[in-house]
Amino acid sequence: MKIIVACILLSCAVSALAAQPRSLQDDFKEFEALIPADAIQSVVTKYYIIDGETRNFVKYLKGAQFRKVWDQVFTHPITKDVLEYLVSKDVDPTSLINQLADLLGLPHVQPTIANIHSRSLLGLYNEIVRLLPLDKFEALLNDKLENSEDFQELYQKITSIDYKVVEDFVTNSAEIQDFVQRLRNYKIPVDVLVEGVTQFFGWTY
């Protein structure tokens, strides 16, 4: 079982090295990196200490009137729909929202059943790929290809395989095609994975 898992992870790593699709989470991280959070927190703290208007506004935010605003916004169908969409893209903003809720003494935004069900096989795949140290995989592969005779021999053995024979076998197997289609139905980027592996081993015909 460990060997099977290791082979799957290696295939994922090789494919990801060849073609690393970006995600919405990556996009959000780029925007997040532009926000000087510590500096903003320092300014807010300063104004809260020295400015009466700021303190009064914070008092309003912690009061019953703003709680009604909070409840109305986060129970609205549009808000729920957007949050569920973000969760389906592996971007869960509820943690950040609930940090603000804790600061203001407001109720947490709870994930709905739809949020929970939005976890998927694609989510599992994406999380596993994100856990893989792709830069270290690439460095290790290059090192082994340059310095390990056994690894070089294995690589040559695999690259010498007639890819046309493999492709014909896969294409003509109803069971394998069913498996591949199931992966596609789950939105697993199986075609990208295959392309990455074939490029790595230089398989052409």
pLDDT in tens, 147-165: 988 888 888 888 888 888 8
Q: Is residue 16 part of a domain?
A: no
In this structure, what token pair is assigned to residue 118? 């939005």
Burial grade of 16 (CB within 10 A; 0-12, 13-18, 19 or more): buried
Rounded distance, CA 197 to CA 10, Å?
10
Helix axes 2-18, 190-201, angle to 10 degrees: 80
Q: Is residue 10 part of a domain?
A: no
Q: Is residue 7 part of a domain?
A: no
Is the separation of the CB atoms in 192 and 19 below 8 Å?
Answer: yes
Q: Which amino acid is at 132?
A: L
* Residue 144 Cα to chain centre, angstroms: 29
Q: Is residue 203 part of a domain?
A: no
> Which helix (DSSP H) or strand (DSSP E) does residue 171 occupy?
helix 163-172
The runs of H, that is alpha helices, within 19-148 are 24-33, 37-50, 52-61, 64-75, 77-88, 94-104, 113-117, 121-131, 134-147
Q: Report the pLDDT value the prediction gives residue 88, as an integer from 0 to 100.
A: 75
**Model confidence band, residue 6 (pLDDT cutoffs 50, 70, 90):** very low
The closest of 178, 150, 10, 32 to 91, measured between CA atoms, is: 32
Rounded distance, CA 91 to CA 85, Å?
9
Helix axes 52-61, 37-50, angle to 10 degrees: 110
Q: Report the pLDDT value the prediction gives residue 169, as an integer from 0 to 100.
A: 87
**pLDDT higher than 60, residue 18:** no
DSSP assignment letter at 76:
S
Average pLDDT of the chain? 80
Total structural domains within the chain: 1
Q: Which amino acid is at 164?
A: K
Q: Is residue 88 part of a domain?
A: yes
Q: Is residue 38 part of a domain?
A: yes
In this structure, what token pair is assigned to residue 76? 């609205």
Q: Is residue 196 part of a domain?
A: no
**pLDDT higher than 90, residue 49:** yes
Range of the domain at 127: 24-187
Q: Is residue 201 part of a domain?
A: no
List pLDDT tens digits, range 86-96: 877 777 788 88
